[in-house]
Amino acid sequence: MGKVLPALDQIMSISDDSFNESIDDIDLKDTLALAAYIEQLLMTEQQWILNRLSWLFTSQSFLLTAFVVLLSSGNHSTTANLLRVALPILGLFCCITVALAIRAAERVGKPLGNRRAFLSTLINHKVKSPMLVPKIGSSRAFRDNPWTLHHGSLPHVVLPWAFAMLWLLLLISTGL
């Protein structure tokens, strides 16, 4: 295990889109340990994205329900009029905050995904099997099926902005 940390430093210092290190420098055991560690880091970032999306859907369902109930009530008090503006602003703020937080998690995950793909290639080379471990990096060059990179990220990229557009339209419709 003593060789794992220097090997990790070696892998982590490689730029995100170019892995030109000699694949013979790290033995299989250390490569597998590094791959497992990188996978744990990636799982953490993916969990952050999942948590943020769950929070977004929960908050949006409460805010949208409150907004619809408020509109249906026919209440035109000062408080109701304030809420007609405040709920869409809060909903818009939540969507933008979650979209930015998801983007931050993606920025952390991209180099990790590419390093995972590099390690997959390294493992496949060491066991002399070209496809034992698939390459699922975060760049087209480090992915066996590049189309899955874009399509797989659509929900967490599109949905916060779709909700934001809905809130913006609702805010405009209130006459602000």
Give per-residue pLDDT as tens, 86-106: 999 999 999 999 999 999 998
Q: Kindly report each contact of residues 143-151 with a partner whose C-beta sits within 8 Å and lies 24 or more positions away, as own/partner.
A: 143/117
pTM (two decimals): 0.75
Written as six digits, the tokens of 89 are 């602003």
Q: What is the pLDDT of residue 9?
A: 53
Instruction: Average pLDDT across each block of 10 residues of the chain; the chain has 176 residues. List them in order.
Output: 49 52 70 89 92 96 96 92 95 96 91 88 82 78 77 88 96 83
Would you call 29 helix, strand, or coil by DSSP?
helix
Contact between residue 128 and residue 58 where contact means Cβ atoms under 8 Å apart: no
Would you call 18 helix, strand, or coil by DSSP?
coil
**Tell me, what DSSP letter sits at residue 103?**
H
